[in-house]
Amino acid sequence: MFWTLELASHLEDAPWPATKDELIDFGIRSGAPIEVIENLQELEDEGEIYEGLEDIWPDYPSQEDFFFNEDEY
């Protein structure tokens, strides 16, 4: 399983929280690239509910990672 920001961006509007099957269905209906669908299919399916992209890709950058404090400059 290999995630990039571009691939993960296709799941930003997914109906969170969601199961693996719901995410795959969303990916197909939204026209996500095949790599996104393949990555989702590789997830372990134990009936787990995913709350967000961070549950799927723990290294997914959050908004805080891109925060720029204009007052400092």
- Cα-Cα-Cα-Cα dihedral of 36, 20, 61, 29, to 10°? 50
Q: What is the pLDDT of residues 11-39, one digit of tens each?
A: 999 999 999 999 999 999 999 999 999 99
More confident residue, 23 or 65: 23
Query: At 59, is the pLDDT very low, low, confident or very high (cuts 50, 70, 90)?
Result: confident
| Residue 73 reports pLDDT greater than 60 | no
Query: pTM surpassing 0.75?
Result: yes
Q: Residue 27 phi/psi, 5° resolution?
A: -60, -40
- Cα-Cα-Cα-Cα dihedral of 2, 55, 66, 39, to 10°? 20
